[in-house]
């Protein structure tokens, strides 16, 4: 089965966007997805579950914590053997942006009451753009650690900055008692990410957008207790907030994406950083690789092979923990210069070369049926490996309102 597309949610219903997906590594047919979901008319955490490898999905929304009226930026993560976590930014109105985590121990069938991770306080502190990473590494002394990252915005109404935070749980999400300020309070950052290598080293990264655009990482060798000094992966030429295509009006934010090779392959230990960049005068997906746990990084290279002038954006990456296959998903308008498609770039030689494949069946108009250009199609999409050698990608289709689609492949490339 290769690159089959399945509807996760129903076209034409209230909007769903910003999807994520996680897979049970022991039983890969079990998948849990999330999105910002307007089924009830207000933004909530859409929870989607498949027991047949993505062919069919059940849909529900997670209940909001008491006192909150909306949620967004949900991310799902898997932990051995049957646990899924979901982090999210919840809020009452436009204030008190707070990070919570939900936990399921029965493969996503039910979730316990959410646990507070990082409280927000009005316009003083807003904890947004969450990410969740679990240490599932085969040779890690910190197996089971859960790391939640978020964009910590402060003095929001007075044009304050934003910084990258990481919070850790060592007891399977029951308590969150160790928080690290990753970035400088003199900088402004976008949504952070992290990856854990084979032996439990944590590499956390973020995009600094002010005073200059840079991809920055810090590494922890002690399970997230302490982190080494920041290292610049690459400078970035930012993609315009609205891509320079007549008829486009949706925003495009630049986020950090990280993954590591936990397999037993010639490339074990490689750390891959992926982002979108405008250095050639159009949006393209770039990669840099570290072979020394984030201390140094290779020169950035494009991995799409897309035609010059096409727009390629919203990359996400995951490395197969059994085979080491690198999987990168992204949007592209390369078919006709306007409509969007989803592509996956794959490498089996440690990122030295990539095979790019269009995985959407039909291109879709980013404005859908709207007579005027729309301002938002979500800010990211996602991919995760389906060992050994497959993947499940998940994205927002804009053709009929905003709905979630998954593309599955179990093709092992050689």
Q: Is the pLDDT of residue 1 over 70?
A: no
Q: Is the pLDDT of residue 307 over 70?
A: yes
* 108 falls within a domain: yes
* 414 falls within a domain: no
pLDDT of residue 214: 98
Q: Which CATH number fits the domain that encloses residue 178?
A: 2.120.10.10
* 27 falls within a domain: yes
Q: Is the pLDDT of residue 413 over 90?
A: no
* 47 falls within a domain: yes
Q: State pTM to two decimals.
A: 0.97
Q: Is the pLDDT of residue 237 over 70?
A: yes
CA gap 377, 298 in Å, rounded:
32
Predicted confidence band of residue 3 (pLDDT cuts 50, 70, 90): low
Query: What is the count of structural domains for the chain?
Result: 1
190-223 exposure pattern, b = at least 16 Cβ within 10 A, e = fewer:
bbbbbbbbbbbbbbbbbbbbeeebbbbbbbbeeb
Kindly state the greatest CA–CA separation across the chain: 55
What's the mean pLDDT in 266-282? 98
* 390 falls within a domain: yes
- Phi/psi for 101 (5° steps) reads -130, 135
- Which of helix, strand or coil describes residue 123? coil
Range of the domain at 134: 4-409
Instruction: Tell me the per-residue pLDDT of 12-71, one tens digit each, with 9 for 90 and over.
Output: 999 999 999 999 999 999 999 999 999 999 999 999 999 999 999 999 999 999 999 999
* 288 falls within a domain: yes
What's the mean pLDDT in 138-161? 93
Instruction: Tell me the per-residue pLDDT of 319-331, one tens digit each, with 9 for 90 and over.
Output: 999 999 999 999 9
């Amino acid at each position: 089965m290769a690159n089959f597309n399945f509807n996760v949610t129903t076209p034409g219903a209230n909007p769903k966007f910003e999807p994520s997906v996680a897979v049970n590594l022991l039983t890969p047919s079990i998948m849990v997805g999330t999105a910002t979901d307007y089924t009830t008319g207000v933004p909530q955490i859409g929870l989607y579950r498949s027991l047949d490898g993505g062919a069919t999905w059940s849909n529900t929304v997670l209940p909001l914590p008491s006192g909150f009226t909306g949620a967004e930026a949900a991310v799902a993560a898997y932990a051995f053997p049957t646990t899924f976590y979901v982090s999210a930014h919840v809020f009452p109105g436009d204030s008190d942006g707070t990070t919570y985590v939900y936990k399921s121990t029965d493969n996503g069938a039910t979730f316990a009451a959410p646990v507070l991770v990082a409280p927000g306080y009005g316009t003083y502190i807003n904890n947004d753009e969450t990410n969740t990473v679990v240490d599932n590494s085969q040779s890690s002394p910190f197996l089971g650690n859960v790391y939640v990252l978020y964009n910590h915005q402060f003095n929001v109404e007075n044009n304050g900055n934003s910084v990258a935070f990481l919070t850790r749980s060592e007891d399977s999400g029951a308590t969150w008692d160790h928080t690290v300020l990753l970035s400088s309070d003199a900088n402004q950052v976008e949504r952070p990410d992290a990856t854990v290598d084979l032996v439990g080293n944590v590499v956390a990264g973020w995009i600094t957008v002010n005073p200059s655009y840079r991809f920055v990482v810090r590494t922890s060798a002690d399970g997230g207790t302490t982190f080494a000094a920041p290292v610049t992966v690459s400078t970035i030429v930012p993609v315009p907030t609205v891509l320079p295509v007549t008829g486009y009006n949706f925003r495009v934010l630049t986020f950090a994406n990280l993954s590591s090779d936990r397999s037993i392959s010639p490339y074990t230990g490689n750390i891959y950083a992926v982002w979108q960049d405008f250095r050639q005068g159009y949006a393209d997906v770039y990669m840099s690789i570290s072979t020394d746990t984030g201390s140094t990084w290779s020169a950035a290279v494009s991995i799409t092979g897309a035609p010059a002038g096409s727009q390629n954006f919203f990359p996400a990456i995951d490395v197969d923990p059994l085979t080491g296959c690198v999987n990168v998903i992204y949007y592209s308008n390369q078919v006709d210069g306007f409509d969007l498609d989803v592509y996956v770039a794959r490498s089996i030689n440690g990122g030295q070369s990539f095979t790019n494949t269009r995985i959407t069946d039909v291109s879709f108009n980013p404005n859908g049926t709207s007579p005027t250009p729309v301002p938002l199609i979500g800010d990211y999409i996602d991919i995760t490996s389906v060992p050994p050698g497959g993947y499940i990608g998940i994205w927002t289709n804009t053709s009929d309102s905003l709905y979630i689609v998954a593309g599955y492949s179990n093709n092992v490339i050689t």
